[in-house]
Structure 1
């Protein structure tokens, strides 16, 4: 997930691009003001009750007040500063404010990268309460982010009873915490004084490497959570189990392990008994989606450990890199689809599965759409798991590394790819100068490059798309009226090199690879080095755009439009003219019924609005820090707001901050 990386200070204008190689019980504050008691929610209230807008992650705002005709009048309605700037936090430079608030009644709930939960008035941004779980700030956490919180209501309790409505958050120090939604006080009847220790039973190996960065899912009276696990340290890492806890008591109701736990399971699902016992991860670190009507939850899993060498885990490695439908009441597997066999590229399923109903050939289909880092969209019937659009197993390149047996085929979707899957060749070399271009041509020529799914090698392999994506945790948005899927996409190539164990330490200490990250992959014959495929100037060796925004028309199974996303502003000195060329991004889109797509995500400090019909940029609002989060929208007091966290991204090296900013049209006079 994250590793340290250094970039020469002289390359200030490209600094936000190069660090892509590293990507992808306290007391309530004394000044807390209790929020008004929540009434039971009806459909009109539930405007953004979940991290992804709804339990299926469609990121759709139903308000029509802001339109293509008036969006240029947007102004900042209010700003709230969380106060979390990393003081005393060991990984302050890695803090990433990736949160999307949720709205319950007239209250917004948001979390900081250090898991402080804050409640605000939705119309004014005024402070209501704050809870600091006081995570240890001296640990070297694998990640330094929190994407948000979840809300639950006890339908059997009096609406005004203590903890009848709860806010849940998973923390960097691996706790699941329950708070009273009205005042932020810990719910003492949940677990041990308001929290459950998630590390218990997960085979923890190192503090700070097993954590939670995404909000839990809610199904009836169950709170379901996965985990984030620091990648590439070893074969024997923490287990990527998914667990459901009783929302009232914190008692574990069920657990599901993506890695087989019995010899019979191992044989059946593409493992050996020994490798299944040793291997860790395959964890669900992204968001889990819920179909309450069908009693199903949809889990996107990641790669088994370690990412770039699979010789210690031969076979397909089901259920890693899979979309898995579980029975929500029991955790029983209903169906699964593995979308990457025997992952060697860190192609976690990073995006939230999106649950939609769409029309095809005159029939309404209840579907689940899974975006991938490979830039492919897989669409399944969510009841049966049958593909809605054809999936074909195609031959892919074999591994040349002793001890490795790559899968001979990989699944390809019949939906349009959002990124190129072609091999990068010396003829594709790009640079600002003739010399720069020539250096890139030589660099590309020395690496193995045979297109998508070329395995890592001892000579170095070009990964395109890279482990950053394609589509990452920003996920998708869906316009149900137009049947359009929206996605933010990365187009940045990387290089991965396997390094014989005895050469790893001398290589790392040589000083010859200042812009590379190294990983041990202990328990295998090889360590790993990876870096951006970059010229001497630090720019990618392939032509921009390096980031885009795309709209896919599901009815026609075609890309409706794809436009560049992001400019060089905030990546260059003030005296260099800004150009909109498409920049790397982290964060996702929001679609509104008013016909707009809102997105931050790119490495410049803007929130943008695009016309959903054409992809034309209609407006952009300046942010005081990086907007590497997904915006949300709601109405309060008759006014539509679009809210985004602007706090920067440690991995992208965008400007850090602590801002939550709401945009709206000028108030009526």
Structure 2
């Protein structure tokens, strides 16, 4: 009888469509799970590399749409769908969650999120859900963590990441600028608040998630509907709050630990140059003189978390980037290096304690968040194998660090033009590149560890950085402010293959007509997939960069592609919904491609 039960269990586990539980063991082995994609970056190391190979350099030219699912929301769409045992789970704009049949595209269930506030700090975009322990987790635009039953979509718990009152915005400075400066060719609006748009990470009974929206800055509204962001405007002052990454109990939603993006002694060493030797235009004596007046600036210090962390499950360390300090692009009220903003950090997953940090930009005045998720891989340096973490920066370099210590092993050749890097603003305006968009923005890079290549989606979009002042009036004091405005002409995208075996040399590079926002997918079929704001999803030869296939999806492809298999059939899927902030056509479709039957 015992033997019969064992055989029956094996047969049930092997039965087509039979869903195995997503527990810790399965999450840790996600990289070897050929057909599924159950973590935000496919594996804990965030490689975004699929071992599927039937769609390869030869067969990809026959790729066709197999199904199209319409979410019903035409808004900025950035999700990476997850697939487990024939079911796809995805987050739509405004943090709605949908489960669909991964083979047919038919809806199974839908969760409609009801936001607790209409003042969304960071727009409607959501970058994905997490799976684990029979639940689906989503971090929402109104700063909540919601757990849903994986089979039905019913709410299991709904907890606040932070008090709802944090979503309120001071308006005094935005009103002052709006009414006082004729040179500003658009209405100025501003808000500080809290939301969440990155996918959570499930590990060891915890759900780990970060918040966004704390790097306070004003912005110029677009001059026409659908146009990109007009400008970022910074005003010194006590706005914002620290960002954080927090861990919650996966069953109850109770908070376990919190890591805050800033610290009380955040002034640091008042660095005159970056850790990699590039000079910063800073008046260090003036900053030190102003420091006593701004001792509590860290309490308003910003540092959003724009992605799910990468995880080394052997050491229990999390790796993530921290956003820019607050107030954005205005440093007068925050003297010092502003630790840990604009840094790559390693955190203990059990306690939330910092292990090491590497600040890419001390006292960031340019909006150079560490926004693209890091990836884990092994690399050979000076004849020795090193466990490494790599990150595609907004600065235009791919940084590779020792995973244990944070030591910089090397940075790549620039994959985006660099002009007037770290120059201070002027009254007339100075053109800097990369601009406030990057380099590589939040777009995740893919890593083919065996080939030793990282594939980065980036852009060239220079910005003009100005220091300006509104004269005092009888009832209002003078206001000094700073603006970073993207240059209207000459922008383009750059898809690059970085040779990790050759110290970061650019193996090949493809220029695209529009800036690249969304991310890459690499596969064992020798392919790299990348989308564009024009609506094109394209496949490139990963060794040469040659374009092998392209399909126009009808709306901007500004989300990362992913790959999976059901019943032996391989698919590549992507969200096609564009991006309002970048001016790309919006839609609401998820499209799955495969080879003809």
Q: TM-score range by the shorter chain?
A: 0.7 to 0.9
Match of 1:420 among 413, 417, 420: 417
Cα distance in 2 for partners of 1:208, 1:267 equals: 22
Match of 2:56 among 56, 59, 67: 67
Match of 1:563 among 510, 532, 539: 510
Q: Is the 8 A contact 2:380 2:501 kept in 1?
A: yes
Q: Is the 8 A contact 2:269 2:337 kept in 1?
A: yes
The answer to whether 1:596 aligns with 2:527 is yes
TM-aligned CA deviation for residue 239 of structure 1: 2.1
Cα distance in 2 for partners of 1:524, 1:259 equals: 30
Q: Call closer, same or farther: CA 1:523–1:314 in 2, change over 3 Å.
A: farther
Query: What's the counterpart of residue 254 of structure 2?
Result: 251
Q: Is the 8 A contact 1:648 1:656 kept in 2?
A: yes
Query: What's the counterpart of residue 542 of structure 2?
Result: 612
Per-residue CA deviation, residues 364-391 of structure 1 (Å, 9 max, x unaligned), is 32110121111011111111212222xx
Counterparts of 1:128-147 in structure 2, within 5 Å, are: 128-135=108-115, 138-147=118-127
TM-aligned CA deviation for residue 277 of structure 1: 4.5
Q: Is the 8 A contact 1:173 1:208 kept in 2?
A: no
Query: What's the counterpart of residue 436 of structure 1?
Result: none
Query: What's the counterpart of residue 584 of structure 1?
Result: 515
Q: Is the 8 A contact 1:345 1:456 kept in 2?
A: no
Q: Which runs of 5+ in 2 are unaligned?
A: 1-16, 170-190, 219-236, 271-290
The answer to whether 1:533 aligns with 2:522 is no
TM-aligned CA deviation for residue 52 of structure 1: 1.5
TM-aligned CA deviation for residue 591 of structure 1: 0.2
- Alignment RMSD, CA only? 2.5
Cα distance in 2 for partners of 1:654, 1:215 equals: 23
Match of 2:335 among 309, 314, 336: 314
Please list every run of at least 4 consecutive aligned residues from structure 1 whose deviation after the TM superposition is greater than 6 angstroms. Answer: none
Cα distance in 1 for partners of 2:299, 2:450 equals: 48
Per-residue CA deviation, residues 173-195 of structure 1 (Å, 9 max, x unaligned), is 111111111111111xxxxxx11
Q: Is the 8 A contact 2:125 2:197 kept in 1?
A: yes
Q: Is the 8 A contact 1:470 1:489 kept in 2?
A: yes
TM-aligned CA deviation for residue 487 of structure 1: 0.4
Match of 2:217 among 229, 232, 235: 232
Q: Which runs of 5+ in 1 are unaligned?
A: 1-34, 86-94, 154-164, 188-193, 390-412, 423-450, 505-521, 566-581
TM-aligned CA deviation for residue 36 of structure 1: 6.4
Q: Is the 8 A contact 1:610 1:618 kept in 2?
A: yes
Counterparts of 1:275-314 in structure 2, within 5 Å, are: 275-314=296-335
Q: Is the 8 A contact 1:96 1:648 kept in 2?
A: yes
Q: Is the 8 A contact 1:589 1:597 kept in 2?
A: yes
Aligned residue pair count = 511
Counterparts of 1:350-369 in structure 2, within 5 Å, are: 350-369=371-390
TM-aligned CA deviation for residue 638 of structure 1: 0.7
Cα distance in 2 for partners of 1:255, 1:196 equals: 15
Cα distance in 1 for partners of 2:329, 2:308 equals: 24
Counterparts of 1:58-97 in structure 2, within 5 Å, are: 58-85=47-74, 95-97=75-77
Cα distance in 2 for partners of 1:624, 1:301 equals: 34
Per-residue CA deviation, residues 308-366 of structure 1 (Å, 9 max, x unaligned), is 11111111111111111011000111111111110000000110011112334443321
Cα distance in 2 for partners of 1:523, 1:249 equals: 51
Match of 1:552 among 498, 517, 520: 498
Q: Is the 8 A contact 2:396 2:434 kept in 1?
A: yes
Match of 1:632 among 542, 562, 583: 562
Greater fraction strand? 2
TM-aligned CA deviation for residue 549 of structure 1: 0.6
Tell me the TM-score normalised to structure 1 length. 0.73
Match of 1:119 among 92, 96, 99: 99
Q: Is the 8 A contact 1:303 1:343 kept in 2?
A: yes
Match of 1:48 among 11, 25, 37: 37
